[in-house]
């Protein structure tokens, strides 16, 4: 393949939900474009979650632009159903995806981006980074953590409860991942849920549909040039069926964090030591932006300054799907389409100003 054959006007880095949503709108333009994905197959991060994970939005409200996820308004899709949907979405629209291709570094020379991969180098006039955060799990720096001789895994590595049967387990993290893992592990192990603050639960009837409604209102406000309403926060944990079942069993209770870790377990704030077999860290992720460090744009917090989704210091770079800092709820299936559409509108305006005018 020649250098000219490896050039596109737009290269999207990442073939998960954010990359596919961006691709949906790029296919409506006459721009040349390509998606580079480092996974062995389609499905994005959903290929790597634990076996029993369920989305916190019903299928109808967990859909990418143009095609509803099968399952209707009352079924919470499983991990496998979400991954299968993304695979079929990619096939349905015939997206140009190259995989597995790992983008190692992005540089810019004489107005052209160079994307160095583990194989060829691609070039582009504009780049969309849509790598998400799954590849960058975060574990807090707890005193003594490195001395603990038991099992420690992040939820990114968790696959199911069987390995923890009959053991003493701490599940750390107050979000949806922590609640779902606690619900599952507590059926086979002596499990304690640890959160920084008392968990806040959404009412049983409120789920990801609420996020969809908020995203819609914010999007409309932006389009109409009026201040968007502040997003309401009714709680953190969505009461999907496994979490409701754990509540009904009386195990959906949390305690505040331990003070430090030891070789055999943990020491609680009151000085009491306790032996523990395993700790599951459900403590979130940071954006996977290593490929952009070569541009000198990633700040100390691991983010890139953006206006909307467009990088402030590199105006031909866009970032889609990293959470509220690149678009309200943009790390979710339910809302990433909003950010993707606005992004492609800006790209088309930048690369085809005459057409837009």
Q: Could you read off the pLDDT of 80-108 as tens digits, one per residue?
A: 899 999 999 999 999 999 999 999 999 99
- pLDDT for position 231: 60
- pLDDT for position 88: 95
Asked if 214 contacts 231 with a C-beta cutoff of 8 angstroms, the reply is yes
The percentage of residues in the chain with a pLDDT greater than 90, rounded to a whole number, is: 63
Report which of residues 208 and 247 the model is more confident about.
247
The secondary structure of residue 131, as a DSSP letter, is: -
Domain at 4-136+285-356, CATH homologous superfamily: FAD/NAD(P)-binding domain (3.50.50.60)
Q: What is the CATH topology of the domain spanning 145-201+236-281?
A: FAD/NAD(P)-binding domain (3.50.50)
State mean pLDDT over 199-222: 71
CB contact set of 73 (below 8 Å; sequence gap of 6+): 58, 59, 60, 61
State mean pLDDT over 168-183: 94
Q: Is 330 exposed, middle or buried (0-12, 13-18, 19+ CB in 10 A)?
A: buried
Lowest mean pLDDT across 93-97, 127-131, 230-234, 290-294: 230-234
Whether 170 shows a pLDDT value over 90: the answer reads yes
Q: What is the pLDDT of residues 9-23, one digit of tens each?
A: 999 999 999 999 999
State mean pLDDT over 307-323: 95
Whether 235 shows a pLDDT value over 70: the answer reads no
- pLDDT for position 349: 96
Residue 30 half-sphere exposure toward CB, CA atoms < 13 A: 5
CB contact set of 116 (below 8 Å; sequence gap of 6+): 103, 104, 105, 106, 107
Distances (CA, A) of 181 to 55, 145, 170, 178, 214: 13, 21, 10, 5, 27
Query: Using 50, 70 and 90 to split pLDDT, how confident is the model at 210?
Result: low
Query: Using 50, 70 and 90 to split pLDDT, how confident is the model at 211?
Result: low
- pLDDT for position 74: 78
State mean pLDDT over 176-203: 93
- pLDDT for position 3: 61
CB contact set of 326 (below 8 Å; sequence gap of 6+): 306, 308, 309, 319, 320, 339
- pLDDT for position 331: 84
Query: Start-end ranges of CATH 3.50.50.60 in the chain?
Result: 4-136+285-356, 145-201+236-281
Q: What is the pLDDT of residues 249-308, one digit of tens each?
A: 999 999 999 999 999 999 999 999 999 999 999 999 899 999 999 999 999 889 999 999
96: nearest Cα among 26, 48, 46? 26
180: nearest Cα among 265, 258, 277, 76? 76
State mean pLDDT over 38-45: 87
The first and second tokens of residue 261, run together, are 């870790």
Report which of residues 172 and 5 the model is more confident about.
172
**Backbone φ, ψ for residue 161 (5° rounding):** -85, -15
The first and second tokens of residue 173, run together, are 């993290």
The percentage of residues in the chain with a pLDDT greater than 70, rounded to a whole number, is: 91
Strands (E), the chain: 7-13, 33-36, 97-98, 103-109, 112-117, 121-129, 151-154, 168-172, 190-194, 254-255, 260-261, 265-267, 273-275, 278-281, 306-307, 310-311, 317-319
Mean pLDDT taken over the chain = 89
């Amino acid at each position: 393949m020649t250098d000219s054959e490896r050039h596109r006007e737009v290269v999207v880095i990442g073939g998960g939900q954010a990359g596919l949503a961006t691709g949906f709108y790029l296919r409506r333009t006459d721009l040349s474009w390509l998606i580079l994905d480092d996974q062995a197959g389609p499905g994005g991060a959903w290929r790597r979650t634990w076996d029993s994970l369920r989305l916190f939005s019903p299928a109808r409200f967990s859909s990418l632009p143009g095609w509803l996820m099968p399952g209707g308004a009352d079924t919470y899709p499983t991990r496998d159903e979400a991954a299968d949907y993304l695979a079929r979405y990619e096939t349905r629209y015939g997206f140009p995806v190259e995989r597995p291709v790992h983008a190692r570094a992005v540089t810019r020379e004489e107005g052209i981006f160079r994307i160095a991969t583990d194989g060829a180098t691609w070039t582009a006039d504009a780049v969309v980074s849509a790598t998400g955060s799954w590849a960058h799990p975060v574990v807090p720096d707890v005193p003594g953590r490195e001395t603990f001789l038991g099992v420690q895994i992040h939820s990114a590595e968790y696959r199911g409860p069987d390995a923890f049967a009959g053991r003493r387990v701490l599940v750390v993290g107050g979000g949806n991942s922590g609640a779902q893992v606690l619900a599952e592990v507590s059926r086979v192990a002596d499990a304690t849920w640890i959160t920084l603050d008392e968990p806040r639960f959404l009412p049983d009837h409120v789920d990801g549909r609420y996020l969809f409604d908020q995203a819609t209102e914010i999007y409309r406000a932006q389009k109409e040039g009026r201040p968007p309403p502040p997003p309401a926060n009714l709680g953190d944990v969505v009461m999907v069926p496994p979490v409701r079942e754990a509540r009904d069993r009386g195990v959906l209770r949390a305690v505040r964090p331990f003070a430090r870790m030891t070789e055999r377990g943990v020491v609680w704030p009151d000085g009491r030591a306790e032996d523990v077999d395993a700790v599951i860290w459900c403590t979130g992720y940071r954006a996977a932006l290593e490929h952009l460090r070569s541009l000198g744009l990633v700040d100390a917090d691991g983010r890139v300054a953006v206006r909307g989704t467009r990088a402030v210091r590199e105006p031909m770079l866009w970032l889609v799907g990293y959470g509220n800092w690149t678009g309200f709820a943009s790390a979710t299936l339910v809302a990433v389409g909003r950010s993707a559409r606005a992004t492609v509108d800006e790209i088309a305006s930048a690369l085809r100003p005459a057409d837009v005018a």
